[in-house]
Amino acid sequence: MILEKSITDNTIINQGYSPQNVNDSITNTMQYLDAVIFSSTPDGLRYHFITAGIKKILGVSSEEAVANPKKLMHMIVPEDFPIFRELVNKVRSRESGTVEYRMHHTSGALLYIRHTAYPVFEGDKLVRIDGIVYNITGEIESRVQLQKSQEKLRGIIETADDLIFTLDKQGSFVSINNSGAMHLEYLPFEINGKHFLEFVSDESKSTIARSFQEILKTKNKVAFDAVFKSKYGKTIVFEINARAIFEGAVLDGVLGIGRNITVRRTEQEKVKELNNKLIEANRIISIERDRAKQKISILEELNRLKNEFVSNISHELRTPLASIIGFAETIDSDRDMPNEMKTEFNQIIMTEAKRLSKLINDVLDISRIEEGKISLVKAEFSIQEILEPLLEQYKKKIEDKGIVFWAELPKQKVYLLGDKARILQVFENILSNSLKFTNEGRITLLAQTLYREFELIITDTGIGIPKKDLPYIFQKFYRVSRPGSEIPGTGLGLAFVKQIVDLHKGFITIQSEDQKGTTVVIKFPIIKQD
Ligand code: ADP
């Protein structure tokens, strides 16, 4: 394509197109443009030319403008006139310039104008001013509109109680709203420029860093909780929703909105804590309920045992009393009773009275031990001292019942420290039970020492104790129920034995098999042996 010389230095004309054609085209186009090109004398009082667009912009034709150049100046909004004058002065001082001011259209409508002027010199002399005027009303209106909506947005951001922020790609604050900063007890300028992680607690740093990685990776909104440390050390929890912001396809930063959930969190934690306490309280209540139930059943059992005891003891008391009264009355009513008979009856009265007294003492002893009122009279004594006479006494009673009796005591004297009378009672109780509950076979007693302990093993081939009763055998009033073959007793003997053994830091155990026999083992610490 061959290009012809241009009509001006700036316009290139294609072959076959004349400069006149170009002028026509420019003139034609200029009337539709929202811009006016002009050229005036340096004083601005005469236009060399002014393009047709002036009609479109201001409602004044080029001819009118050329005829009356001041007309256009009068259309400038008076308050903005100094801006226009400033431009004129600038151009006269040989500089080009651009200003914006307002004008009134001939219809009265307000217009925004951008005016650029260039000084043209010939040698040193300013010969004319060229320029261009744009109608920028549309642009200004959308700028104002944009400003208004930006202000609205800023208003919303500032009045919102939420934390609203933007971060750069590295995670440093670019902006933060006032109320957000206030939640953290800072002013926005103290936060901007610093890294997000500088404001969060150490424990939540790693989770937050992970959330940021996810934000950058997924491009989706990511929600996470962040525990912040305020300027004065308060812990504030925010529930944050954040997403990456892009400029085109390039990552520009992160936008986030956070809601202060500290109170909610604390309330939730309180509720959780209360729930745990409630669960604990319920557990305690159910434990206490079980315990109360257990206590009730123990009390009921004790009550039952007591009732049984009352009826047993009445029977136990009544039997010796009946024979005491019976024999005493017989002696009294028969004046001629031979002396030997009297002596025999007196013997019976004495034995029964002693049984009575023992029974009463047993009851008293047990209650004294339970109340902690019993005082042991401790002294050093030998095992032989109490066992030899006891065996003497029982050997006869046992053999009288047709039972084989065998006993072995240690050769050397074994000494214990304790209440001799009470320990004697212990041995006697065990021996008397063997006698009471054995009808045939053997009763053996083995007394021996093992290291620093004295051990007494009493075995019988009596009726034994059923397995189910063994755990309760040391409870007071507890007696093995044997319907049809009830053997008298109070259920106090073994309870008393256990209490005395314990008071002497001894040990007792009973092994038994129903209908086969019973073995009782008692141990006491030795203080010396000969
Ligand atoms: P009780 O006054 O009834 O003898 P104890 O406390 O001495 O009271 O004994 C409790 C129960 O233990 C007795 O009722 C008896 O059934 C059982 N018992 C104790 N010793 C023997 C034994 N050697 N053989 C069989 N049963 C025994």
Is there an atom of ligand 1 within 6 Å of 480 CB?
yes
CB atoms near residue 140 (< 10 Å): 17
Nearest to 198 by CA among 168, 231, 175: 231
C-alpha 291 to ligand 1 mean position (Å): 30
Any idea where the domains of the chain sit in the sequence?
2-138, 160-260, 273-373, 375-530
Whether residue 464 has its Cβ less than 6 Å from ligand 1: yes
Tokens of 218: 């997924």
- The residue-averaged pLDDT of 437-449 equals 95
Interval 229-242: pLDDT, tens: 999 999 999 999 99
Q: What is the number of other CB atoms lying within 10 angstroms of the CB of residue 122? A: 8
**CATH number of the domain at 160-260, please?**
3.30.450.20
Q: What contacts 12, CB < 8 A, 6 or more positions away? A: 3, 4, 6
Report how far residue 523's alpha carbon sits from residue 9's, in angstroms, rounded to the nearest whole number.
Answer: 134
Which atom of ligand 1 sits closest to the CA of residue 429? 7
Rounded to the nearest whole angstrom, what is the distance from the C-alpha of residue 517 to the centroid of ligand 1? 12
Q: Is the CB of 491 under 6 A from ligand 1?
A: yes
Rounded distance, CA 471 to CA 486, Å? 20
Count of CB atoms situated within 10 Å of the CB of 382: 18
pLDDT digits (tens, 9 = 90+) for 478-496: 889 888 777 777 788 999 8
Residue 403, token pair as written in the block: 């039972």
* Superfamily of structural domain 2-138: PAS domain (3.30.450.20)
Query: Is it true that 2-138 and 160-260 share their CATH fold?
Result: yes
Instruction: State the closest ligand 1 atom to the C-alpha of 490, by its place in the atom list counted from 1.
Output: 2
| Residue bearing the CA closest to ligand 1, atom 8 | 491
pLDDT confidence bin for 434, thresholds 50/70/90: very high
Strand 163-168 with 47-50, pairing: unpaired
- Would you tell me the crossing angle of helices 493-503 and 339-370 to the nearest 10 degrees? 60
Looking at domain 273-373, which CATH architecture does it have?
Orthogonal Bundle (1.10)
Query: What fold does the segment set 375-530 form as a domain?
Result: Heat Shock Protein 90 (3.30.565)
CB of residue 434 inside a 6 A radius of ligand 1: yes
What pLDDT, on a 0 to 100 scale, did the predictor assign at position 146? Answer: 93
Q: pLDDT for 193-206, tens place per residue? A: 999 999 999 999 99
Local structure of 258: helix, strand or coil: strand
Q: Which of 376, 405, 416 is nearest to 525 (CA)?
A: 416
Protein residue closest via CA to atom 21 of ligand 1: 433
CA distances in angstroms from 252 to 170, 247, 480, listed in the order given? 10, 6, 92
C-alpha of residue 294 to centroid of ligand 1, in Å: 26
CA of 241 to the centre of ligand 1 (A): 81
Ligand 1: nearest atom to the Cα of 496: 6
pLDDT single digits (tens) 405-417: 999 999 999 999 9
What's the average model confidence in pLDDT over 157-185?
92
